[in-house]
Homo-oligomer: A and B are copies of this chain.
Amino acid sequence: MAEETAQPRRRRVDAQRNVDALLEAAKAVFAASGVDAPVREIADRAGVGVGTLYRHFPERSDLVKAVLEREIDACADAGPALSAEHAPGEALVLWLGRYTELLGAKRGLANALHSGEPTLEALRAYFFERMSPTLEALLDAAAANGEVRDDVTTRDLLSAVAKLCMPVPGEGPESSRRMVALLIEGLRRT
Interface size on A, residues (CB 8 A): 30
- With A160-B179, A175-B159, A179-B159 known to touch, is A114 a contact of B186 (CB < 8 Å)? no
The CA-CA distance from A167 to B124 in the complex, in Å, is 14
Determine if A164 is an interface residue (Cβ-Cβ < 8 Å): yes
Task: For A121, list chain B residues within 8 Å (CB).
Answer: 169
Q: Which of B34, B111, B156 contacts A178 (CB 8 A)?
A: B156
Smallest CB separation, A161 vs chain B (Å): 9
Query: Contact between B116 and A36 (Cβ–Cβ < 8 Å)?
Result: yes
* B182 pairs with A186, CB closer than 8 A: yes
Question: What is the bound-complex CA distance between A169 and B183, given in angstroms?
Answer: 22
Q: Which residues of B contact A152 (CB under 8 A)?
A: 178, 182
Besides the known contacts A124-B169, A183-B183, A185-B187, 14 further A-B residue pairs in the complex with CB atoms under 8 A apart: A36-B116, A113-B168, A116-B169, A118-B169, A121-B169, A156-B175, A159-B179, A160-B183, A163-B163, A163-B168, A164-B164, A166-B166, A185-B185, A186-B186
- A sample of 16 cross-chain residue pairs with beta-carbon separation below 8 angstroms, ordered by A number, consists of A34-B116, A111-B116, A114-B168, A121-B169, A124-B169, A152-B178, A156-B179, A156-B182, A159-B168, A160-B179, A163-B164, A163-B168, A166-B166, A179-B183, A182-B187, A185-B190
